[in-house]
Amino acid sequence: MNLYATITVIGRDQSGVIARVTSFLFVQKANIEGLEEKVTRGQFGMTIQASWSANECSVPAIRAGLSDIGRALGMEIKIRFIEPSRRQRFAIMVTRETHCFDAIMAGVRNGQIKADPCVVIANHPDLEPLARKHKLPFVHVPWTDRVKAEKRALHVLEKHEADFVVLARFMKILSPTFVWRYKNKIINIHPSLLPSFPGPSAYRQAYEHGVKIVGVTSHFVSMALDEGPIIAQASFEVRSGMDIKEIITAGQRLESKVLVKAIKLYLTKRLDVYWGTVKEV
């Protein structure tokens, strides 16, 4: 039986980071199955997927060694061991809208979503009663200072052992350092057929441009606004005479369906991101 882990490295860009970490993993008899790194405005981020044969893996030694490397480099290095047979745990991040949250919880109840929600994080307190109704912990994280807010949210995700994150109409932009910690594990729903009409006012932009087809897109969150790898999309036709409220209502119904579909696809473990494109494998 093999053990699997995801390792994230975040910090100021400097030479020798990749060699230092991968050499240590080689000594620890790890098989590196995937590695992705990127530098954004002087900030280095790396994600490594690694596996070990169970009889060749010393978890305490690996944790201690990575911690020592992190201190020496002045970087954050974390490892999350993954049990493939365990049901995935996911966090839901919300603002004020309820339609996507309701659809997710319905999908959990009826067995469409075969994973367990573990916590609700919100930048406003409005949805606390709804979270409590579903017996989920609710954490209000004001987003007035993004650095402090993201630090708190990451602490909550780690505390609740979230394997992935769903943005259920969470109306805040996440920084590159946040995204790298959950590379291709943050699923968003956007009210547009991306790449058209990024940003929060996509339905109004579509209405003002007189488009005849309006759609929604579920995608992995990347460092660029509304440009992450696309998981699922759907659209509806704008009938003659439809006003902006009718378009928004129809769009929100579709958002709920497409977001649930994207979560289901993610949980099949048949998705791979290759050169910025999601492919089923």
CATH of residue 29's domain is 3.30.70.260
Domain shared by 48 and 95, yes or no:
no
Domain shared by 228 and 185, yes or no:
yes
Work out the average pLDDT over 112-123.
97
Element (H, E) at 213: strand 213-220
Work out the average pLDDT over 71-98.
91
What are the structure tokens assigned to 83, written together? 């049990």
Model confidence band, residue 222 (pLDDT cutoffs 50, 70, 90): confident
CATH number at residue 99: 3.40.50.170
Domain shared by 120 and 188, yes or no:
yes
Tell the burial category of 226 from Cβ atoms under 10 Å away from its Cβ (0-12, 13-18, 19+).
buried
pTM, full prediction: 0.82
DSSP 8-state secondary structure symbol assigned to residue 209: T
Domain with 70, as residue range(s), is 2-82
Model confidence band, residue 72 (pLDDT cutoffs 50, 70, 90): very high
Domain shared by 13 and 145, yes or no:
no
Domain shared by 131 and 235, yes or no:
yes
Q: Torsion angle of alpha carbons 50, 152, 163, 192, nearest 10°?
A: -110
Domain shared by 93 and 78, yes or no:
no
Domain shared by 98 and 26, yes or no:
no
Tell the burial category of 232 from Cβ atoms under 10 Å away from its Cβ (0-12, 13-18, 19+).
buried
Domain shared by 161 and 266, yes or no:
yes
Domain shared by 178 and 140, yes or no:
yes
Which residue in the list 116, 226, 243, 272 is annotated as catalytic?
Answer: 226
Nearest to 120 by CA among 168, 180, 183: 168
Nearest to 117 by CA among 106, 125, 108: 108
Residue 278, pLDDT above cutoff 60: no
Pairing relation of β-strands 164-167 and 186-190?
parallel
Work out the average pLDDT over 39-45.
86
Work out the average pLDDT over 54-67.
91
Length reported for the chain: 281
Nearest to 89 by CA among 160, 156, 155, 163: 163
Residue 114, pLDDT above cutoff 90: yes
pLDDT at residue 274, rounded to an integer:
45
pLDDT at residue 276, rounded to an integer:
45
Domain shared by 23 and 45, yes or no:
yes
Assess whether the previous peptide bond of 195 is cis (omega < 30° from 0).
yes
Model confidence band, residue 237 (pLDDT cutoffs 50, 70, 90): confident
CA 104, chain centre distance (Å): 15
Tell me if residue 243 is catalytic: no
Model confidence band, residue 275 (pLDDT cutoffs 50, 70, 90): very low
Relative orientation angle of helices 59-73 and 17-27, to the nearest 10 degrees = 160
What residues have CB less than 8 Å from 185, skipping those under 6 apart? 163, 164, 165, 220
pLDDT at residue 14, rounded to an integer:
94
Domain shared by 102 and 37, yes or no:
no
Model confidence band, residue 271 (pLDDT cutoffs 50, 70, 90): very low
Last residue of a domain, one of 58, 82, 106: 82
Average pLDDT of the chain to the nearest whole number: 88
- Are 177 and 150 in contact by the 8 Å Cβ rule? The answer is yes
Residue 138, pLDDT above cutoff 90: yes
